[in-house]
Amino acid sequence: MRAFVILLLTGILYSCSEEKESVATVAEEQVAQLPETDTPAHLGGCILMDPRGKVPEDLYAVSDVIPTTAISPFTKELQVYGLALVAQDNASDDFMRLVAKTIVEIFPQRDDLDLSLQREVIANQYRYRALIPVPLGDDFSFMEQNAERWAELESAYSICDIIMQDVPARQVMEVVEHILHYVSDIGLHYTFPDEWGIHRSSKLAVAMQFAIDNGYYDVSGYDDIDDAEVRFRVEMQEFAYWFISTAWNLQEPYGPAEEQEWLIKNQEELKQKFSSMYETYENTAGRVMVPPSIVTLQQIGPTWAEEKSKIER
C-alpha cells in the first residue's frame, strides 16, 4: 500500500473561536499570498527549495481542527509544529487530533534535548510549508477529481505523502511512518544537511547505500518510479523512517514480522550494524525528537501481534 500511494502521488504530481494568526490560518494565508504564476521548484518531487512559509512567534502552538475554504479540495485543517494536517469532511476530527498529539509527543520540550535545534527543525517545517493530507482509507478521489487544484497545492507546498485513517492493518505505523517522512524530508533535511540531507553525499545516503549493498534494505519496490530524483528521495525517506523507527524500538511490536524491505528489527541490532549512522542519529535527530508514548500508540491502533491474533481467530 505504501508503494502504491507513493506512485499515485508521483503520477499526479506530473499530471496537469479565535486562534493566533500564525497557527490557525497559516495554510489559508500562504495560498492567498502565492502569485498565480509562481511555481517554486521542488527537490525530489516534493520538497520546496525556496523557504516561503511564515515562521510564527510560538513554534509550539497547536490549533484545533478548523474549517477552511482556501485549501480546497480540503475543508478543514489542523496546524501542529509546522505540519499542516488537512482533510475533507469524511475524515475524523478526533483522528486528526490524535495525529497531532503524536507529533507533539515526538517533539517534547525536555531539558535532556537540544531545544534550540528542535526549534530549528520545527521552524523549517513552517518555512517549507509541510502539508499532510489525511484521507479516509484509500479514498484518493481528492487528487483525481481535482487534478488542476491538486497541482496548484503541490506547487505551493511540500506534500511528500499522506496519512490514511482507518487502514485495515498497521494503523500505528501508518501514522508514525508518514510523520517521519515529513520530518526527515523537511525538518531534518534542512536542519542537518550534511547528516540527513536528501543528496548523495549525506551520511544518510552513505548509510542507505551500505544497507542496500549488505541486503538490509531492499529498494526494488520503488523501481517503477521512473524519475530518478523522485525515486532517490523516496528511497531516502523510507530508509530514514526504517532507521528512526528501529532506533525507537517500534519495529518489533508494530512492524509485520514478514516485512522484507527492511531486515533490522531492534535498536541493538541497528547499533551493531550501523554504528557510524547510529552515532550520527544520536548527535542530531536523537537530540531533538523521541518516540511517542505507548499510551498514544495504543490509542492509534493495535500491535502487529494483536492484529495477527484477530486475523487468526
Helix, coil or strand: residue 70: coil
Q: Which three cell numbers stand for residue 190?
A: 534542512
| 313 residues of the chain, pLDDT tens digit each | 444 354 454 444 433 333 333 344 444 444 434 444 455 489 999 999 999 999 999 999 999 999 999 899 999 999 999 999 999 999 999 999 999 999 999 999 999 999 999 999 999 999 999 999 999 998 889 888 889 999 999 999 999 999 999 998 899 999 999 999 999 999 999 999 999 999 999 999 999 999 999 999 999 999 999 999 999 999 999 999 999 999 999 999 998 767 799 999 999 999 999 999 999 999 999 999 999 999 999 999 999 888 877 766 5
Q: Report pTM.
A: 0.89
- To 10 degrees, the CA torsion angle through 81, 84, 88, 93? 0
Q: Which three cell numbers stand for residue 226?
A: 521512473
Q: Which three cell numbers stand for residue 24?
A: 490557525
Helix 2-13 and helix 147-156, axial crossing angle in degrees, nearest 10? 90
Burial class (CB in 10 A: 0-12, 13-18, 19+), 115: middle
